[in-house]
Amino acid sequence: MSQFTVWHNPSCSKSRAARDELGADATLRLYKEDPPTEAEIVDVLAKLGAEPWDITRFSEKAAAEIGIGDWKRDAGTRDAWIAALADNPILIQRPIVMRGDRAVVAREPGWRDRLK
C-alpha cells in the first residue's frame, strides 16, 4: 500500500514532478476523470487547514464561466464553493498530496517535508 495519495493531473508539470518524486509510494487519482465528492473535498480541506477558495484555480475558463471569482468568501458561501469544485474539478489546485491526516498543495519546494 502506498504512503501518499495524489490528486493528479498528468498535463500539469507540477503534478508530474510530484508523481516522479514520490514514485511507487504514490497512488494517483486522476481527479478530472474521477472527481472528488463534496465530502472528499471537505476532508481534504480539513487536512490542508484551508478553505475552498484557497485551492481554487481562478485562471481556468470554468472559473470565469461560473463567475466564482466574484463569490463571497465566507462561511455562508462555503458549501457553494465546495459544490462548485466537485462539479468542476478542473478548478481544484494541483497537485494535492495526502498522507494520513495531512495534505499539501505540492507546488512549492519542500512540500514533502510538510507531510512528515
Cα 20 to Cα 10, 59, 82, 93: the distances in Å are: 11, 25, 29, 18
Please name the amino acid found at residue 63: A
Query: CA 77 to CA 65: how far, in whole Å?
Result: 18
Q: Which residues are identified as catalytic?
A: 12
Directed axis angle between helix 38-48 and helix 78-87, to 10°?
Answer: 120
